[in-house]
Structure 1
Amino acid sequence: MEGNGNGATALDLSQSQINSDVLQNIPVTISVEVGRTSLKIRDLMRLTQGSVVELDRLAGEPLDLLVNNTLVAQGEVVLVNDRYGVRLTSVIPTVDRVKNL
């Protein structure tokens, strides 16, 4: 196969495109984190319906949008046709997002 002058062959270039196409079609899990807390096991065992677990975030603080448990953005809760959604207010740069996934 002929090279393109910089040492890469047509096969190398098409393989790169295939890898990119494959990667872009892999499903990922997205979750939104409202906050976190730590509990002792005894406190966890005492939780019942109606219990309130206090989290580390203040009301109005941005929520974390996680992809496969990796932070990729922050945002605020919105309603979309009676369902919750997240309006992104800040997004981790693409290069950093891909590196961390």
Structure 2
Amino acid sequence: MDKQDELRRQRQALKEEMEAADKLGFQGADSAGLKGPTPLDGVGARLRDRSTSGPDLTMVMDIPVRLTLEVGGSDMPIRDLLQLHQGAIVELDRQAGEPLDVLVNGTLIARGEVVVIEDKLGIRLTEVVSQAERLQSLR
């Protein structure tokens, strides 16, 4: 709960900061002799200040996500599942040597192969799914 509370506090502080910036934008327009909001007031001012290089992702960089590597899967009836024991072998729907799927919060983002680095397992990405394909999988 601590992380969620901290994120809420940060979100509230950012909201207050943006509202204060909006008020300053409106006051600047009044002193310039302009009536009512102008396109550069409030949201317009924030849009103007954004760089064209891409969206500002600093607010989402600390949000935790779940990274999962999927080796394969298998469908089986509950009868067979209950008969599994130590040493049993379950056949998966993938061939040996096929790349693993890399999922973030359940969405496929890449494929890769298992590597060993100082007695720990890792994954070397061999293919990254394009942004268009990721968006398509969300639909």
TM-score of the aligned structures, taking structure 1 as reference length: 0.79
Listed as ranges, the matches of 1:10-89 within 5 Å are: 10=46, 13=49, 17=56, 20-89=57-126
How far, CA to CA, are the matches of 1:91 and 1:71 in structure 2?
9
Identify the structure with the greater strand proportion. Answer: 1
- How far apart are the structure 1 equivalents of 2:122 and 2:94? 19
Q: Which residue of 2 is the match for residue 8 of structure 1?
A: 44
Match of 1:28, SS state, is coil
SS state of the match for residue 9, structure 1?
helix
Where do 5+ consecutive residues of structure 2 fail to align? 1-24, 30-39
Report the number of matched residues: 94
After superposition, the C-alpha distances for 1:30-54 in whole angstroms (9 at most, x for unaligned) are 1111111101000001011111100
Distance 1:92 1:24, change over 3 A: same
Percent identity of equivalent pairs: 45
> 4+ residue stretches of structure 1 with deviation over 3 A?
10-14, 94-97
* C-alpha displacement of 1:94: 4.1
Answer 1 or 2: which has greater helix percent.
Answer: 2
* Greater RCO, 1 or 2 (C-alpha within 8 Å, sep 6+): 1
Any stretches of 5+ residues in structure 1 without a counterpart? none
Q: Give the partner amino acid of 2:46.
A: A
Residue 41 to residue 13, structure 1, CA distance change in 2 (3 Å): farther
Mapped to 2, the partners of 1:53 and 1:13 lie a distance apart of 56
In structure 1, what is the equivalent of residue 15 of structure 2?
Answer: none
Q: What SS does the aligned partner of 1:53 have?
A: coil
Alignment partners' CA distance in 2, 1:35 and 1:10: 46
Point out the structure with max Rg over C-alpha. Answer: 2
Aligned counterparts of 1:37 and 1:69: Cα–Cα separation in 2: 17
1:62 maps to amino acid: P
Give the TM-score, by structure 2 length: 0.59
